[in-house]
Structure 1
Amino acid sequence: MKKTVTETLHDGVQLSFAVEEVLHEEATGHQRLQLIRNRRFGKVLLLDGAVQVTSADEFMYHEMMAHVPLMAHGDPADVLIIGGGDCGLAEEVLKHRRVKSLTQVEIDASVVDFARQHFGEFNAPVFDDPRFSVEIGDGSAFARETDRRFDVVLVDSTDPAGPGAVLFTREFYGNLKRILKPGGIAVTQNSVPFLQKNEFVAGFGALASVFPVARPYVVAVPTYFGGFMTLGWASDSEQALQVDQKTLEERAAGMETRYYTPALHQAAFVLPRYIADLAEKARKGV
């Protein structure tokens, strides 16, 4: 029998991956890091036993987190990523020619170094791009203290537990609002509502309490078991949500994607009823 690694997602639910090969294991200063190879998902990165990214389906999550706000914004010159240590999200952001600077704030330098070594198939271009810079530090503290302002902020966080919990709070979202330029957009990882109902309601509720415009949108990622994952869109303006498909198609011309399309961009905001109901509950603070 092959060795397996098992992720305990939620009470009563576990997800196991057969291990073809253990590629790396270490305890960093912040978390336990494992890299395995699985027949279906390729390289699988786990932090503290929770799957973070796989080489087979990373493009689904990263494309939708990056391209939906960047295409909608139209002129995203200055972009900030909080988290995202595997640098797959940075790869997608840097496909946009209008991006002049991309700053990534990651708390664990070991994750960035590790990803550069092991996930070069999707992140190698990032480290050669002069627009890209990494700051090792606490993303919540950066958002609280920086004097810089950004067109788009992307929060590629772990789930709301342990060190990642602060990135789902009203205080943190208030700091995101502070560092956005007028008309800027923030997008956050907002959990899998079918299995993380309470987490979704708390996180999206906090986001909606801070930003005048807050909408969840969905992406299907096989790794993140339990149906649709939601991403939280937040801004001070409705304008970017009203960009038509023709304009999106013009902005996307020549860009290679495997998940994102302008039509899917608009469809992603059409929610299944159970998610729409939870979003309404979150807005009411129930």
Structure 2
Amino acid sequence: MSEDDFFTEKQTDGVHLSLKVRRWLLRQKTQYQELVLAETTELGRLLALDGKVMLTEADEAFYHEMLVHPTLLSLDNPQLVAVIGGGDGGTVREILRHPSVQRVFWVEIDEAVLNACKELLPSVHRGAFDDPRVELVIAPGEEWLPKFRETFDAIIVDGTDPIGPALPLFEPPFFQACRQALKRDGILSLQCGTPFYFRDEVRMVWRNLKQVFEQVKLYLGFVPTYPSGLWAYAIAGNFLPNLDAADLHRRCQQRGLTNFRYYSPEVHIASFALPPFVQELLQ
């Protein structure tokens, strides 16, 4: 390996992100995608799929905390959760921090990704693969979920960007299946790209959710290695509670949730304040 090896993601035609690689851990063509794991010089271990950064050890918590906690802290007593995707285990790890959670169905299409992440990313999953509350299912989420009706307190979609093979997870038929599988006050959450570069994709996901759910809210977070750094998430349901920072602090305390790297009750509240260019995008 050359000392000057880099992993480079083409984020747009004119914007590329390059991370210097100390050593390549795995480069594999799976049944579904190109899988890369590498040790970078600056940001720890890197997971990439089809040339796109899924996480680095340095900033994965920024993403996983913001995908999970705004949803689960909005629920009084989340017990049954479905995760679609999330083969690295970071999302399941954060869900398992909530003591009321009794069972997590973790549905991932690519077993090769699961095997690689279990072995090479222990700092991310932190034993989530072996937690007795977790049931791991190898299947396409859009085929697995329609079997359920009014089952889940939360469904969290941790997929790749809303293009290519992941596109079915962002379209109305899948969202209809999510609505059917959620309890009456259940919540769906998902990432939906960057409103800075991927405006059409974010608008598409927003509009598709609005076709299916009574209430939809977009919120923002910062993930340094994702395109533009500004990342959008959405939550959807028939009833989304309006909690203030005091409510969220109380729930964190009751659940023993401490030592966040990015999330806080104040960040939670602020993340729903959308800048004008994002508001315009959704009109």
What TM-score range do you get, normalising by the shorter chain?
Answer: over 0.9
Contact conserved, 1:214 with 1:233, CA < 8 A, in 2?
yes
Partner of 1:156: 158
Aligned with residue 136 of structure 1, among 135, 138, 157: 138
Q: Are 2:5 and 1:15 aligned?
A: no
1-structure distance, mates of 2:108, 2:150: 17
Which of 47, 52, 55 pairs up with 2:54? 52
Matches of 2:235 and 2:279 in 1, distance apart?
Answer: 14
Assess, with a 3 A threshold, how the Cα gap between structure 1 residues 148 and 177 changes in structure 2: closer, same or farther: closer
- For residues 65-114 of structure 1, what are the alpha-carbon distances to aligned partners after superposition, in whole Å with 9 as ceiling and x for unaligned? 11110011121111010000000010000000011111110000111111
Give the match for residue 271 of structure 1.
Answer: 274
Between stretches 180-189 and 15-24, larger displacement belongs to 15-24
Report if the CA contact (8 A) 1:216-1:279 is conserved: no
1:124 positional shift: 2.6
Read off the aligned partner of 1:218 and give its amino acid letter: L
1:218 aligns with 2:202: no
Q: Report the CA distance between 1:122 and its aligned residue.
A: 2.6
CA deviation vs aligned residue, 1:125-155 (integer Å, no higher than 9, x gap): 3123211111000001112233461001000
Deviations 1:245-266 (A, max 9, x none): 2221111123131111111111
- What does 1:1-286 align with in structure 2 at a 5 Å threshold? 2-147=4-149, 149-238=151-240, 240=241, 242-253=242-253, 254-256=256-258, 257-280=260-283
Long gaps (5+) in structure 1? 281-286
Q: Deviations over 1:193-237 (max 9, x none)?
A: 100011111111111121110010011000112142010110101
- For residues 10 and 163 of structure 2, the distance between their equivalents in structure 1, rounded to whole angstroms, comes to 13
Structure 1: 4+ residue segments shifted above 6 A: none
In structure 1, C-alpha distance between the alignment counterparts of 2:58 and 2:247, rounded to whole Å: 30
User: What CA distance in whole angstroms lies between the structure 2 residues aligned with 1:15 and 1:234?
Assistant: 32
Contact 1:190–1:203 (8 Å) recurs in 2: yes
Q: Percent identity?
A: 35
Of 95-104 and 244-253, more deviation after overlay is shown by 244-253
Structure-1 separation of matches of 2:280 and 2:113: 37
Over 3 Å counting, the alpha-carbon distance change for 1:28 and 1:219 in structure 2 is same
- Structure 2 distance, partners of 1:169, 1:10, is 23
Separation in structure 1 between the aligned mates of residue 213 and residue 34 of structure 2, nearest angstrom: 35
TM-score (norm 1): 0.94
Is residue 88–residue 124 contact of structure 2 (8 Å, CA) maintained in 1?
A: no
Deviation of 1:156 (Å)? 0.4
Deviates more, 1:87-96 or 1:220-229: 220-229
Contact 1:116 1:124 in 2 (8 A): no
How many residue pairs align between the two structures? 278
1:179 deviates by 0.6
* Greater displacement, 25-34 / 94-103: 25-34
Partners of 2:25 and 2:130 in 1: how far apart? 25
Equivalent AA in structure 2 for residue 84 of structure 1: G
Letter in 2 for 1:271: L
Cα RMSD of the aligned pairs, angstroms, is: 1.3
The residue identity in structure 2 corresponding to 1:245 is A
Aligned counterparts of 2:124 and 2:14: Cα–Cα separation in 1: 34
Q: d(CA) in 1 for partners of 2:150 and 2:48?
A: 32
Amino acid aligned to 2:261: R
